[in-house]
Every structure is written in structure tokens, then in C-alpha cells.
Amino acid sequence: MSGGSAGARAGAGAGAGAAAGPLEEQLAAAQAENARLEARLASTTAWWSTAITKIEPGVIELRGYPVQQLIGNVDFISTVWLMTRGELPSPEQAALLEAALVASVDHGPQAPSIASARMAATSGVGLNSAIANGVNVLGDTHGGAGQQCVALLNEMVAAHAGAGSDSDSGGIGAAGGLGAGRPLDELAASLVASYKARGAFVPGFGHRWHPRDPRRDPLLTLIERARDDGVVAGEHLAAALAIEDELAAKDVPMNIDGVSAVVYGELGIEPELARGLFVLSRSVGILAHAWEESQSGQRIKGPLPKGFLADYTGPPTRDV
């Protein structure tokens, strides 16, 4: 009897062992499928991965700072710096950036971006569309000189320091390079000559309305003070002043694009981001003008007052 029981137990054990194979295979397959789903989920959530904002139920963090700690403790300009650059600025850095943004906020309806927004506001579109219309007019010619000047000053500072530069300012680089380690006055002379040879304007210098841009002096004073206090190095300031000295014979001082480019360059802000910050500033003016025009009651306000038509320069009236 005992021998038979032992045999039965052995047979049961063998059967159990045989059944374990499929179970293990099923478990392995389930684990593999789970890993595949986890990988797919990870690739899905990484689609819009960002180092800027963390969002969870009940949680909003900007660059790691809980939003409830930022509210009431961090000003808007410092928040702009934080969002675009990853860290909070010093109070001195924030003050310098704020000055540049205030200076660039508006230049009246004769600016194409403002006029475009005001015309759009009389066409039945929403305020957001009127603002977008104005912002979209800001390009390389109207609104891009600041970016170009930052790139130019970056390249000039690098050349003066003896370093190469990969920037494409359209100035020094377009002239075939100015040579490394040369004095700023020589670099400025070569740069101005390169623009003159191409019949081009040096971006950031001269203004079609102002013999001397009223925004130049107060901003330069703030930059000089920041340099003296050790907030900025003053290298971009020195480069811009060297260009201005070279243009002095023609009385072509820095304009708002040039002096704000000095601010952006001194603060280490990349040229394209500098344009974005200018657009942010000018958007306030665009908003104000679009809102004012939307309250005027005017409808379909074109580029010429009523009763005036654009000159026709085509052929005279003719029959088909």
C-alpha cells in the first residue's frame, strides 16, 4: 500500500512539473507584453516632454518652483526670465531686462505692426486675432534689427577676444571675418566698411524718425551703471560704442534696437530669444492699440482715410 501511494505521489509530481512549463511561458509572455506597454506609454508621455512646467492633479510647477510660491513673490519680468532661461535672475539683472522691455513697448500707429493690428480690429475679428495680426508683421525688416544687432555684437566681442564665431549676423561673417584679437575700433571700422560696400544699414544704428533716439541715453546709462556695479561685463557695450564712434561722422547713433541689443548681449540672451523678448514687449503696445481701435466704432478702416484712394500707375482705360 505504501509503495502504491508513493508511486501516486510521484506521478502527481511529474504531472505538476509538466503543467508548470505552459504557466511559466504565459507569465513570461505577460511580462513581455507589460514591458512593451510601459515602453509605449513612456514614448507617448515623452512626446511633449518639457523642462519648463510640471502639471499633475493639484500641482503646477514652473522650472521646479511651485506656482503658489511664485505668486506674490516673483515679479513678471523675473518670471519671464525664469521661464525662458531656467533660473531666477538677480534683482539687478531683472531691472536691466525690464528697462529694455519698457523702452520697446510701442512706437505708434506709423509702425506697420501697430497699423496692421488697428486695421484688423475694425474688420470684425477678435482682440486675439488683431494682436496676432500685428505680431505676425514683425519680421527681419520691421522688428528683426535687434536680433541682428545682438548677433553682430556677439561676433565682434568674440573676434576682439581672439575667439572664432559661428554666428551669422550678416555683418562680420558676411565680410569674410575680421580677424581675431584686433582692437574694437579696427573691428568697428571693418564692419562698417563691409556694410557700406553692400549698401546695407548697420542694424541697431540710425532711425528714420529720430535724429537721436530718446530711448538711447537712459538705457545706456543703466547699462553703464550695471557694468560699474559688476552686474554685466560691459563687452557688448564697448563694441556698440565703437561702432557708434565709427558712424559718428555721419551722425548715426544707436537706436532702440541697438541699445536693447546691448542689454540682451550683456545678459547673455541668445539673438533669436532677444527677438522673442522684443515681440513680447511690443505685444503690449499692439494690444493697447488694437483695444483702443476696437472701442472707436470704426468699421473696415483701411490704410488711407475715407475719400482718398491709392494712386493708380497702370495702363489707361482700354477696351477688351
171 band by pLDDT with thresholds 50, 70 and 90: very low
Q: What are the tens digits of pLDDT across the range 183-195?
A: 999 999 999 999 9
pLDDT of 106 above 70: yes
Q: What pLDDT was estimated at residue 315?
A: 97
Q: What pLDDT was estimated at residue 179?
A: 61
List the Cα angle 172/175/177 in 5-degree steps.
Answer: 60
Please say whether the beta carbons of 62 and 70 come within 8 A: yes
Average pLDDT over residues 177-202: 88
- Comparing CA positions, the residue from 249, 174, 264, 160 lying closest to residue 206 is 249
What does DSSP assign to residue 203?
T
pLDDT of 138 above 60: yes
Q: What pLDDT was estimated at residue 37?
A: 85
**At the top level of CATH, which class does the domain 112-294 belong to?**
mainly alpha
Q: What are the tens digits of pLDDT across the range 251-261?
A: 999 999 999 99
Average pLDDT over residues 84-96: 98
Average pLDDT over residues 70-80: 98
Domain boundaries, the chain: 25-73, 112-294
- Comparing CA positions, the residue from 27, 317, 238, 280 lying closest to residue 143 is 280
Q: What pLDDT was estimated at residue 209?
A: 87
- pTM of the complete model: 0.84
Q: 147 by DSSP, 3-state: which?
A: helix
